[in-house]
A and B are shown apart, each in its own frame.
Chain A
Amino acid sequence: MSTPDLSSSDQHALTGVYVADALSEPERRDFEAHLRRCADCAQEVAELQETVALLASAEYVTPPSELRARVLAEASRTRQLPPVVTRISRRQDQTRSKRSAWPVAIAAVLALIFGGLAGGLALQNRSLTSDLSDVQAASASVRSVLTAPDARTTSAAASGGGRGAVVSSASLGRSVFVGSDLPAVSSAKTYQIWFVTAAGATSAGVVGSDVAGDITRALPAAPAGTTAVAVSVEPAGGSRAPTTTPVLALPTA
């Protein structure tokens, strides 16, 4: 811990030049350390920052349109910082406590899946074996669904052990699959997630081999008419249609 060169009373005199960004780098760091300990200075700095923001707001300059395109493009390539964890935990607790787990009509959902298979209906194939790990990396998308004001959760026990849930937000048009304590599957197999519609099951992606336990995956947009999300164990790399009885089926409609 460095000893500040200036006494506290000398630090108070720096609020103006700090806000004007007229301090050297070491002085700025020392002053920011002072701000963390001095409520009066922090208050004054906040007010003076609003003041210079008003000064700055008089400097309106229309940016060239190419700049907008470049900024939006670069932002789309840029990961965002995750939010502070404590806020997320509180919101998740509120979401779960407000919603009771819906009764899962597994039989009806299974009938849909196997009925579709038995009837030989054509299944839509959309990036069937797409590895969801890239989607998972977009943690901002996961968090936005989990914390959406209209987030709805459906959860159920998986038949092989563990539990799963789907959290979906109608306003965002996206959903997230969350699995907890799911049993490990062999490296020759993977969990695969399905969107269930009247036409059958469409892959929502594979979870990946050697992945089990606690899983969070942002799902691609569900096809129209999706009534449930199901999870089955498939050969590694995924299947075009469920080849085994789903371990989990969650109505989403």
Chain B
Amino acid sequence: MAEQGRRRIPPPNETESVNVRLLRSASGDPKGQPDTAEHLLTRVARGEDAAFAALYDRLAPLVLGVVRRVLRDPAQSEEVTQEVMVEVWRTATRFDPAKGTAAAWVLTMAHRRAVDRVRSAAAATERDFVVGLRDQQPAYDEVAEAVESRIEREQVRKALDALTDVQRQAVELAYYGGYSYPEVATLLGLPLGTVKTRVRDGLIRLRDAMGVSA
């Protein structure tokens, strides 16, 4: 799905980052390794335990990463990661490679579950406290743990630079903050329509900056 002309994907090598491998599987690299996430997921759908373990190793760090950004609490984040990965196992037959990459399928599930957890009553009180701290935070985690993500963090940071400040802010609050768009509107003192537009325009700019096409 990524247009190789618009986004330089380095040739495969041993230190190839997780994200580039995900892109490679998405871009349908003809030299692509047989163990693309899509291929693994197809085998998981047939009940193959080994393929599921390999898919876990590939994607659980990303699931945990995005869930942690939204939920903050490490213990809850691990719980949600477990729920997501087991759901991937349970519903693997529902993945349709024609509709998108395996990574997107899994991370969409992960983000939705994280947001659902955030909106549950238990998390509500802590969220109010954290709101004020979050406003000025950069969109990428400067304390990220793994070298593997350095390349894609750099690419994401550059892509986020393509957004206007207000678009970036709206995307951060809506996506990473796990807020509903009326909550975002309240936090930013904006009309609902403006929030919808800024989130959409911001994501479209990110899409174009990162060379995503379906």
Interface SS, B side: helix
| A positions within 8 Å CB-CB of B | 13-17, 19-24, 43-44, 46-64, 67-68, 70-72, 74-76, 78-84, 138, 140-141, 143-144, 147-148
Q: In the complex, are the beta carbons of B145 and A62 less than 8 A apart?
A: yes
Known A56-B62, A63-B78: A144·B48 in contact at CB below 8 Å: yes
Q: Choose one: B45, B48, B61, B155; the contact of A62 (CB below 8 Å).
A: B61
Closest A residue to B149 using CB positions = A60
Q: A135 CB to closest chain B CB, in angstroms? A: 13
Closest B residue to A143 using CB positions = B46
Q: In the complex, are the beta carbons of B201 and A16 less than 8 A apart?
A: yes
Q: B16 CB to closest chain A CB, in angstroms? A: 13
Residue-wise, chain B 113-130 has the 8 Å CB interface mask toward A (1 for contact) of 001000000000000000
Q: In the complex, are the beta carbons of B181 and A23 less than 8 A apart?
A: yes
Q: In the complex, are the beta carbons of A54 and B212 less than 8 A apart?
A: yes
Residues of A contacting B196 in the complex (Cβ-Cβ under 8 angstroms): 13-14, 16-17
Within 8 A of A (CB), among B43-100: 45-49, 52-53, 56-57, 60-62, 64-66, 68-69, 78, 81-82, 85-86, 89-94, 99-100
Give Cα distance in the complex from A44 to B82, angstroms.
29
Q: Is B40 interfacial (CB 8 A cutoff)? A: no
Q: In the complex, are the beta carbons of B212 and A17 less than 8 A apart?
A: no
Besides A21-B175, A22-B199, A74-B82, 19 other CB < 8 A contacts?
A: A13-B193, A13-B196, A19-B203, A23-B180, A47-B1, A52-B111, A54-B156, A56-B107, A58-B19, A59-B141, A60-B144, A61-B68, A61-B144, A62-B146, A63-B60, A63-B78, A68-B56, A144-B46, A144-B47
